[in-house]
Structure formats: structure tokens, C-alpha cells
Amino acid sequence: MMQHNLKNRISFSYLVSTGILFGLVFIIVYFSVRETVYRHMDGDLDAESNEIEKNLVVINDKFVIANTFEWNEREHGQIEVNPVFVQIVNASGTLIKKTGNLLNGKLSFDANHKNQIYFNTSLSGAQVRQLQLPIKNPVGTILGYIIVAMPLDESADVLTNLFIILESTYWLVLFVLYYATRFIAEKSISPINKVIFTAERITKENLIERVELPAHKDEIYKLTSTINELLDRLEDAVLREKQFTSDASHELRTPLSIIKGTLEVLIRKPRSIEQYEEKINYCIHEVDRMSSIVDQLLMLARYESGKLTPVINKINLNEAVESVLTRLSFFLDEKEINVNYKMTENVFVAADYSMLEVILENIISNSIKYSSEKKQIDINIINDKNRIVCEIKDYGIGIPRNQVEKIFDRFYRVDESRNSQITGNGLGLAIVKRLADLQSLTITIYSELSEGTSIRIIFPS
């Protein structure tokens, strides 16, 4: 569980990356100091070897020391304080001369190296830095070697102490960094923990609760804000579903209650054939109403589930309008409503024919329902800036401006007290909106109370 903890993962990742970085820095520091120390010692060895070489004369391929004063210097005689060890060997490595501080010992000789070389070795158990320099005659033949050495104890102590300090500092830095990073990570992800804590408490019963926004407007702020927006949408969806369930139950319960009441009245006593026929026809009408509601609910359910897929084709808009007007001709004649529709030429649009007919039928039937008798409905097809617009305008009771946007909600009806004599269930325009969205059609509504309503269907160019 701990290894999957975000705080620990951040701390560990930061620790590894910082550890590698600090390790590289410390290694560079150590080897830079080491190189400086050796370069300084090598400079001293070079200076000493030059002094020896100046006082060395080669006669008949033999070494003659011109000035013995250099060999008798204090540094060549002592071994306690800053000693310098010198010896001369012939080409085969046989000792020719050495300083007194070497006593019975002698410096290492490496016959495999013919050129000047620096290396670390040991003398009587102590570490020394050594230079081996070839001595050549005028024709370039190696006659022997000058070997100079200096103790490495002090330099080795410095390097050892430096290594210990760097190593100790390294682990201390990693230790402090780990816990500092854990603390910073904990502070940084505390808003996420709040999100988790709040999200665990939220259920469908308390969707009103929201996650507290952090103080800094960073990525976590954006995450929290996005989650709150998601909760807003979920709350809205749950409320709409509750309202939908309530409205659907009410709409279906009403005709069922009517049918039940009518049948109960029928069986109380014998009735005439005419009365039976009247009540049965009334029940059939309510059954048809329920069937219509169920069909519309199924269509909405198919839309919500994403199973309703339009088949877009190039269709004749004029034919679709005329087909709908033909089906609704009975209701137009019943209210003596005149339709002002003039087809000048065929207009073709990209849409699903069956869905478009449902849209037109719902809009025109609403215009008929909410228009008074002997009124007029205008239908115009307009080519507006390369867009086809179908406008359906009635001169009925109209819609209050503050309720225009709500008429696409399921089961919503404007001021039921004013429309009590108008049949309907408030699903028609909800279906219109959803079928239009599926086909990328735009529906706009303009309405004035007591003056009428104009609905526009705008087809994409």
C-alpha cells in the first residue's frame, strides 16, 4: 500500500533524481580536488627532477654528478618532514645512486615505461607519489632513469577526509531531502485528499455538496473546479431524472385513473348500448393517449442511450412539409385554420427524412393546438446566407419570454391553467430538440404573449 502512495512515489522519484545529481556533483568535486593535489605534487616532482638532471653529466655513457650539494640537501637526508627521495638507476634498473633518506630501501622501477611517468606506489609500507624520468644520450639512447618520490600521507589524508565528508554529506542530504520532499508532497496533494474525502461522502442524496477550491489557481485548482462542474451536471441530471420519473408517472397515472373510474361507473348498474359505446370509446381514447406517451418516452430513451442514429440524405423539404400538412389536415379543418404556404421551387436539405417529419409534425401540431379558431399559420422556406431556414409562425396564445427556454424540457407546459382545454403531455418539443441535435439542426423560438410564436428550423450549409 505504501509503495502505491502518491506522496511516497513523489518522494522516492525526487530522491532518486536528486541522489543521482548530488552523486555526480560530489564525484566531480572529489576527483577535481584529487587531480589538483596530484598536479601540485607532480609539479614539485618535476622541479626536483630538473635540479637533479642539471647536475648530472653523461660521459662515455656513464653518469657523473657534477654537483653533490643537491644530494646533500636537508630534504634528501631526512624522512620525518617533507622528505624527497631520489635514486638513479641504469637502463636495466641497477641502482647507481640514491639519497640518504632511502636508507636500506629503494624506489620502485617500472622497466615497461620508457617515457616520463607519474604513479602511486609504496615505500617501506608508506604511500608515495613517484616520477620516473628517462636519461638519454645525444642520439636518444636511454642510459638510465631518475626516480623521484614524495610521501602521499598528507595528501592521502586530505583526500580521505574529503571523501568521508562528501559521503556523509551525501547521505545526510538524501535523508533530509526525503523527509522534506514527503512534507512538501503531503502539502501539495492535500487538496487531492480533500477531493477524495468529499467525493467519498457524496451520494445521490447529497449531490449538493461540493469540493472546496484550493487557494492557488494551479492544476489542482482546475481539477477541483472540473470535478465541481461534473457534480453540477450530475446533480442536474439526477434532478431532471427525478422530475422526469415524477412527470411520467403523473402523465400515465391520469389516463389509467380515468379508465379505471369510467369502468367502475359502467359496472355499477346496467347501461344502454349508447352509454357503453360512449364510455368504451372514451377509454380507447385514453389508451391511445397512453400509447402515444409511451412511444414518445421510448423515443427519448433511445436518444438518451445513444441508439437513435440519423440517416442523413438529400431530401426535398417541400415534400416533407406537404406530407405533414396532409396528415394534419383534419385538425386544420376542425379549427378552420388557414395555412399560408407557398412553394416556389423545390428546396433540398441534408437530413433524416423520418426524423424531419417528426420535427415538422410536432411543431405544426403545436401551432394548431395553441392557435384560436379561424386563425392563420405561416410556413416560409428561406434561403438565408447560404443556409436553408424553415419558419413556422402561428398567431396563437404565445409564450411568456421567461419561459421560452423551458419549453424543450420534458413534460413542461406553459401555464397549465391557461391551457387546461388543450391536450398534450409536454414531450413533443423535447423530442424536437433532441432529434434536431442529432442532425445538427438549430431550433430557434421567438414568441410574444397573446401575439403568437415563430419557430425556425435552420439547416446546416
Res. 419 pLDDT band, cuts 50 70 90:
very low
Judgement on whether residues 427 and 388 belong to the same structural domain of the protein:
yes
Long-range Cβ contact pairs of 35-40 (< 8 A, separation 24 or more): 37/155, 37/158, 37/159, 38/118, 38/129, 38/155
Judgement on whether residues 79 and 128 belong to the same structural domain of the protein:
yes
Judgement on whether residues 152 and 247 belong to the same structural domain of the protein:
no
Q: Cell numbers 442514429 label which residue?
A: 309
pLDDT digits (tens, 9 = 90+) for 279-309: 888 888 778 777 877 776 776 666 666 667 7
Domain contains 337 = yes
Judgement on whether residues 300 and 422 belong to the same structural domain of the protein:
no
Judgement on whether residues 8 and 151 belong to the same structural domain of the protein:
yes
CA torsion angle 221 226 232 237 (round to 10): -160
pLDDT of residue 118: 92
The helix or strand, by DSSP H or E, that contains position 221, with its residue range, turns out to be: helix 219-268
Judgement on whether residues 285 and 353 belong to the same structural domain of the protein:
no
Domain contains 265 = yes
Res. 132 pLDDT band, cuts 50 70 90:
very high
Judgement on whether residues 286 and 255 belong to the same structural domain of the protein:
yes
Domain contains 105 = yes
Res. 68 pLDDT band, cuts 50 70 90:
low
The count of structural domains within the chain is 3
Nearest Cα neighbor of 85 from 143, 115, 116, 41 is: 41
pTM: 0.47
Question: What ranges in 269-352 are assigned the alpha helix state H?
Answer: 273-304, 317-327, 329-334
pLDDT digits (tens, 9 = 90+) for 206-260: 777 777 777 777 777 888 888 888 888 887 777 767 766 666 676 677 678 878 8
pLDDT of residue 286: 78
Asked if pLDDT for residue 420 goes beyond 50, the answer is no
Nearest Cα neighbor of 367 from 403, 332, 341 is: 332
Asked if pLDDT for residue 278 goes beyond 70, the answer is yes
Half-sphere exposure of 324 (CA within 13 A, CB side): 25
For the chain, what percent of residues have pLDDT higher than 90?
11
Spatial strand order in the sheet of 95-98 = 95-98, 85-90, 142-151, 126-136, 117-123
Q: Cell numbers 431550433 label which residue?
A: 443
Domain contains 202 = no
pLDDT digits (tens, 9 = 90+) for 361-377: 889 988 888 888 888 99
End-to-end CA distance of the chain: 57
Q: Cα separations (Å) of 31 from 28, 37, 38, 156, 364?
A: 5, 10, 10, 13, 90
Tell me the CATH number at 299. Answer: 1.10.287.130
pLDDT digits (tens, 9 = 90+) for 315-335: 999 999 998 898 888 888 888
Domain contains 137 = yes
Res. 71 pLDDT band, cuts 50 70 90:
low
Q: Which range marks the domain in which residue 145 is found? A: 2-160
Judgement on whether residues 227 and 140 belong to the same structural domain of the protein:
no
Tell me the CATH number at 110. Answer: 3.30.450
Judgement on whether residues 453 and 358 belong to the same structural domain of the protein:
yes
pLDDT of residue 165: 92
Mean pLDDT of 264-278: 84
Judgement on whether residues 329 and 274 belong to the same structural domain of the protein:
no
Exposure class string for 346-378: b at 16+ Cβ within 10 A, else e: ebebebbbebbbbbbbbbbbbbbbbbeeebebb
Nearest Cα neighbor of 293 from 438, 122, 423 is: 423
Half-sphere exposure of 350 (CA within 13 A, CB side): 8
Q: Regarding predicted confidence, which is higher, 417 or 27?
A: 27
Domain contains 113 = yes
Kindly report the backbone phi and psi dihedral angles of residue 303, in degrees, each rounded to the nearest multiple of 5, phi listed first: -65, -45
Mean pLDDT of 420-440: 71
pLDDT digits (tens, 9 = 90+) for 159-186: 889 999 999 999 998 888 888 888 888 8
Res. 378 pLDDT band, cuts 50 70 90:
very high
Residue 289 cell numbers, joined: 393517449
Mean pLDDT of 433-452: 86
Q: Of 113, 144, 160, which marks where a domain is finished?
A: 160
Q: Of 245, 274, 304, which marks where a domain is finished?
A: 304
Judgement on whether residues 152 and 13 belong to the same structural domain of the protein:
yes
pLDDT of residue 411: 59
Tell me the CATH number at 331. Answer: 3.30.565.10
With a CB cutoff of 8 Å and minimum separation 6, the contacts of 215 are none
pLDDT of residue 3: 47
Res. 154 pLDDT band, cuts 50 70 90:
confident
Domain contains 47 = yes
- The number of angstroms, rounded, from the C-alpha of 424 to the middle of its chain's C-alpha atoms is 47
Q: Of 109, 134, 160, which marks where a domain is finished?
A: 160
Asked if pLDDT for residue 129 goes beyond 80, the answer is yes
pLDDT of residue 122: 87
d(CA 59, CA 248): 125
The amino acid at residue 68 is T
Judgement on whether residues 387 and 277 belong to the same structural domain of the protein:
no
Q: Give bridge partners of residue 89 from the DSSP assignment.
A: 95, 145
| Angle at alpha carbon of residue 82, lines to 70 and 31, rounded to 5° | 120
Nearest Cα neighbor of 155 from 190, 116, 195, 126 is: 126
Contact 420, 366 (CB under 8 A): no
Domain contains 125 = yes
Residue 325 cell numbers, joined: 400538412
